[in-house]
Chain A
Amino acid sequence: MAAPAVAPPTARPAVGAHRRRRSLGGDRRRAAYLMLAPAVLHLAWWIGIPTVATFVLAFTRYDILAGTMSWAGLDNFVAIFRDPLWWKAIGNTVVYTFFTVPVAMAVAVVIAVLLNTKLRARAWYRTAVFMPHITATVAIALVWMWMFEPNIGLFNWVLSLFGVRGPAWTSDPAWAMTSVILMSVWKGIGLKMVIYLAALQGIPSDLYEAAEIDGAGPVRRFFAITLPLLGPATFFVLVISLIDSFQVFEQFYVLTPEGGPANATTVMTYEIYKSAFQRFDMSTASAQSMVLFAFLLVLTIVGRRFTGRDDVA
C-alpha cells in the first residue's frame, strides 16, 4: 500500500507547531487570568474575606472597641435565638417577603404581557414602570413619607374623598408593615417587568399562532404557553426577589426609623445593623448574618426545585 499523501488527522504535529500551539495556549491562558484577575480580586477582597470574617466572628466574642476576642462556640447563636426580638425580626422579614415577592412578580408578569402588545407610547409606559427601580430608595421613601402622612398626606386625602378615615400609616403598628410593603411592591415591579419583557420576546410567535389555530383563547394561551416558557425568567426573578426582600433595609430605615412603632417593622437586616453599629456587638451581628445567609441559601434551593429548572442559573 502506498503511503498516504497527507498525514492522517490523528498524526502528531511537528514539534515546532506543537510548541507554537502550546505557546499560543499559554498566552491565551495568561490573557484569561489577566482579564479575570480584577473580578477575582474584587470577589476575594469584598466578598471572600468578609464572608470568612463573618463566619469566624460568629463563633467568637469580639469587642470591637477594646480589640479583644475570645472563642464563644455556639453561644452567639443560642443567644440570638433566645432573643424574642430576633424572632420578631425573622417573622417580619418573612411577612414582608411573602407579600412583596409573589405579589410583585404577579403584577410584573401582567404588566410585562400588556407592555409586550402593540400599544401607542409603549416605550413611555415601559420607562415609567422601570423608573422607580433606578431612583434612589431614600428619595422614594421620603416622597412616600409625605404621601403616608396621616393628616396632610395624599393617601388619607384620597380616602377622605370617599368618607374613609385613613390610618396613621407608618406610626400605627397595624399599618406600618403594610406601608413599607406597598412602597416596595411599587418600587420592585420595574426590574421584574423588564426581565419578563425580555423573556416574553424570546417566545416563538409560531407557538401562539398554532395555539390560536387550535382554538386556544388568550387566557389559555397565557397559561399553556406564556407562563411555562417564562419558567427560567420566573426562577431568576424569584431568586433575586427573595434575596432582595431578605436583604431589604433602606425603605424600612427611612420610612419607619428605628424598627417602626413598637418594633412592628424590625427586619433581620435592621437587627444586624443595630447589633453591629448601635450596640457595637459584631459577634452577634455576624451570627445573625449567618442565619440570614442560611435563609437565603435554603430559599434559593427551594426556588430552584419549585420552578423545576435545574438547567438554568
Chain B
Amino acid sequence: MTNRHRSALRAVAAAAAGLVVLAACGGPAPDRGGDGAVSGEISLLTPIFERADGAAVLEEQLAAFKQKYPGVTVKPDYTSYSKLNEKLTTSIASGQPYDVMLMGVGWIPPFAEKGVLADLQQDPAQLATRYYEGAVDPGVFQGKVYGLPIMMDTRIGIYRKDLFAQAGITEPPKNFAELREYGKRLTQRGPDGKLLVAGLDVLGIDPRQAFLTLLWAAGGELFNPDGSPAFNSPAGVKALQTMTDVIQTDRSEEVGWTVPNSPTGNVMAQGRAAMLVGHHNFWTAIEREAPDLIAQDKLGFFVIQDERPAIFQGGTLATVAAQSKAPAAAKALAEFLASEGPALAANQQRGNIPALKSLETSEFVQQNKAIQFAMQHFDAVHSEGGVPAWLDVRDKFKPAIESAMLGQKSPQQALDDLAAETSAALAGR
C-alpha cells in the first residue's frame, strides 16, 4: 500500500471516528430557549392516532390548532408503541428530538431524569382539579410536571353475566380465593377433557400487566420508596402464585388458550372465556365482533381485589423536548392535545378513557360501560414505573412471570431472580 493510500485511509478513519463521536455526543444540548413566540415549525411523534382513520382525526385537530396558532406548522410522525422507543432514541441521539412526544405511563421519569423533557411549568395540584389525579401523577417527576395526560387505559376484571348465572354465581369475586374458585366453576371441558371455555383467562394480556394488577390488589408495591425492588414481597408471591395456580392447579385455562393481541380475535366474543383480566377497550372489540353481547347486557366488570381494589393504569401523555427550537409552540401543542376537543377525539379513536374530568359526561363516555366503570373506580388505579430505571427493567418481567406460570420456577424463585436482575440493572446506572 502506498503512503498516499495510507494517508487517505487515515483521513477516512479519522473522519469516521469524528462522526462517531459527534453522533455519540448528540444527546441533549443546552436549551436553546426560543423567543417565547408561539410560532415556528414543530414535529410531533405520536403512537396514537393509528391507521388512516386515526391520521384523519389528528389532521382535523391540527387544523383546529392551526386556526388558533396560525404561526405554527406541525409535522406529525405516526408510529406505534412498539416502535416508539426506536424513534425516540434515534431522534435524541441525532440531536434533533421531536418537539412534542406522546409517551406512555412509566416513561416520564427515565426521560425527565436524563434532561430530555422540558418542565411544563405546571402545578400538579392545580392540574389535578381538571384531570383525574391518577392520570396526573405519571407525568410528574420530582415534583415537576413533564407530561400532560391525554388518555388513560386500564386493566380490569371482565366477565360474562350469562355464564356466571349458569354457574350459579351472582357476584363478581371479592378476593383471590373467590377469583380462583369462580374460575374453576366457570371452566367448561368436553367429555374428552378438552377445554371449551376458560373459566379465568390470565394469559390474554401482557403477563406483566396481569401480574402488576394482582400485585397491587394483594397489597404489594412495585418498588420501595428508595427505588429498590418490592415486587418479590409476600404480596407479590401471592399474586404470582395465584396466576400460576389458575394454570397449573385449577386448570381454569391452558397455556396457549389465549395470547396477547391474538390475530384470532376476542375470546369473550367467541365464547371461549367466562372471566378475564383484561383491557377496558375489550368493550370496543365486543361492539365490533359481538354486539349482541352488549345489546343483551351480557358483559359485566369488576375491580380485581384481595387486600385492596386495584386497577392497572396505562395511558398516553404529551411531553415537550427540552431541546425544542420552538418551545412555546411545542408547549402550546402539548396543552392543546390534552385539552377537551382533541383529547375526546383521540379517546374515541382508541376507545380509551379521557383523563379530563369534564369529559366524563360526554356522549362517548356515556355509551361505553367499560369506560364508565373504570372512571367510577379511578381511585383504585396504580401506575407502573415511577423510577428512572423502569425502562431498563420493564422487559425482564414477562419471561420471569412466564417461567413461574409454566412451572419452570416457583413464584418466589422467579420473583427473587427478577429482583436480583432489577437490582443489578439499577446499580449499573
Q: Which residues of A contact B (CB under 8 A)?
A: 44, 48-49, 52-53, 56-57, 60, 62-69, 79, 142, 145-146, 149-153, 165, 167-173, 257-259, 261-263, 266, 274, 276-282
Contact between chains at A259 and B399 (CB < 8 Å): yes
* Complex Cα–Cα for A67 and B21 (A): 10
Q: Which of B59-67, B129-137, B257-265 contacts A (4 or more CB under 8 A)?
A: B257-265
**Known A277-B86, A278-B395; contact A150-B256, beta-carbon cutoff 8 A:** yes
- Chain A contacts for B425, CB-based, 8 A: 279
* Complex Cα–Cα for A107 and B29 (A): 55
8 Å CB contact of B259 from A64, A66, A170: A170
**Known A65-B114, A172-B255, A262-B408; contact A52-B27, beta-carbon cutoff 8 A:** no
Contact between chains at B392 and A281 (CB < 8 Å): yes
Number of A-B residue pairs, CB cutoff 8 Å, is 122
8 Å CB contact of A66 from B28, B255, B398: B28
Contact between chains at A52 and B20 (CB < 8 Å): yes
- Chain B contacts for A168, CB-based, 8 A: 254-257
* Complex Cα–Cα for A258 and B255 (A): 16
- Chain A contacts for B359, CB-based, 8 A: none
Q: For the complex, count residues of B whose C-beta is within 8 A of A.
A: 49
Contact between chains at B114 and A48 (CB < 8 Å): no
**Known A142-B263, A278-B395, A280-B391; contact A262-B406, beta-carbon cutoff 8 A:** yes
Question: Shortest beta-carbon distance, A146 to chain B, in Å?
Answer: 6
Interface code B371-399, partner A: CB below 8 Å = 1, 0 otherwise? 00000000000000000000110110011
Contact between chains at A150 and B392 (CB < 8 Å): no
B93 at the interface (CB under 8 A from A): yes
Contact between chains at A146 and B399 (CB < 8 Å): no
B19 at the interface (CB under 8 A from A): yes
Contact between chains at B115 and A66 (CB < 8 Å): yes
Question: Shortest beta-carbon distance, B16 to chain A, in Å?
Answer: 4
* Complex Cα–Cα for A235 and B110 (A): 48
10 contacts between A and B (CB under 8 A): A52-B17, A56-B17, A64-B27, A64-B89, A65-B110, A66-B27, A66-B28, A145-B263, A150-B256, A262-B399
- Chain B contacts for A276, CB-based, 8 A: 89
Please give 4 more A-B residue pairs, beta carbons under 8 A apart, in addition to A64-B93, A146-B263, A263-B399. Answer: A52-B16, A170-B256, A173-B408, A258-B399
Contact between chains at B395 and A49 (CB < 8 Å): no
* Complex Cα–Cα for A257 and B263 (A): 13
Question: Shortest beta-carbon distance, A33 to chain B, in Å?
Answer: 13
CB-CB contacts below 8 Å: B234-293 with A: 254-257, 259-264, 272
* Complex Cα–Cα for A151 and B257 (A): 7
Question: Shortest beta-carbon distance, B43 to chain A, in Å?
Answer: 18
Q: Which residues of B contact A (CB under 8 A)?
A: 12-13, 16-17, 19-21, 23-29, 85-86, 89, 92-93, 110-111, 114-116, 194, 203, 254-257, 259-264, 272, 391-392, 394-395, 398-399, 402-403, 406, 408, 425, 428
10 smallest CB-CB distances across A and B, nearest first, come from A67-B27, A168-B256, A65-B114, A171-B256, A53-B20, A150-B256, A262-B402, A52-B16, A263-B399, A277-B85
Question: Shortest beta-carbon distance, A300 to chain B, in Å?
Answer: 23
Contact between chains at A279 and B19 (CB < 8 Å): no
Contact between chains at B255 and A48 (CB < 8 Å): no
* Complex Cα–Cα for A257 and B80 (A): 15
Residue of B nearest to A166 (CB): B256
- Chain B contacts for A66, CB-based, 8 A: 27-28, 114-115
Contact between chains at A152 and B264 (CB < 8 Å): yes
8 Å CB contact of A278 from B17, B111, B254, B394: B394
**Known A262-B406, A278-B394; contact A171-B115, beta-carbon cutoff 8 A:** no
Contact between chains at A65 and B111 (CB < 8 Å): yes
Question: Shortest beta-carbon distance, A151 to chain B, in Å?
Answer: 7
- Chain B contacts for A62, CB-based, 8 A: 24
Residue of A nearest to B86 (CB): A277
- Chain B contacts for A152, CB-based, 8 A: 264
* Complex Cα–Cα for A263 and B414 (A): 13
Contact between chains at B28 and A67 (CB < 8 Å): yes
* Complex Cα–Cα for A171 and B253 (A): 13
- Chain A contacts for B194, CB-based, 8 A: 165
* Complex Cα–Cα for A171 and B259 (A): 8
**Known A258-B395, A262-B408, A263-B399; contact A49-B20, beta-carbon cutoff 8 A:** yes
Contact between chains at A57 and B24 (CB < 8 Å): yes
**Known A167-B256, A261-B255, A278-B391; contact A173-B263, beta-carbon cutoff 8 A:** no
Residue of B nearest to A75 (CB): B428
Contact between chains at B403 and A262 (CB < 8 Å): yes
- Chain B contacts for A280, CB-based, 8 A: 85, 89, 110, 391-392
Residue of B nearest to A64 (CB): B93
Contact between chains at B27 and A68 (CB < 8 Å): yes
- Chain B contacts for A142, CB-based, 8 A: 263
- Chain B contacts for A169, CB-based, 8 A: 256
Contact between chains at A279 and B262 (CB < 8 Å): no
- Chain B contacts for A52, CB-based, 8 A: 13, 16-17, 20
Residue of B nearest to A273 (CB): B86
Contact between chains at B272 and A65 (CB < 8 Å): no
- Chain B contacts for A150, CB-based, 8 A: 256-257
Contact between chains at B92 and A64 (CB < 8 Å): yes
* Complex Cα–Cα for A67 and B96 (A): 13
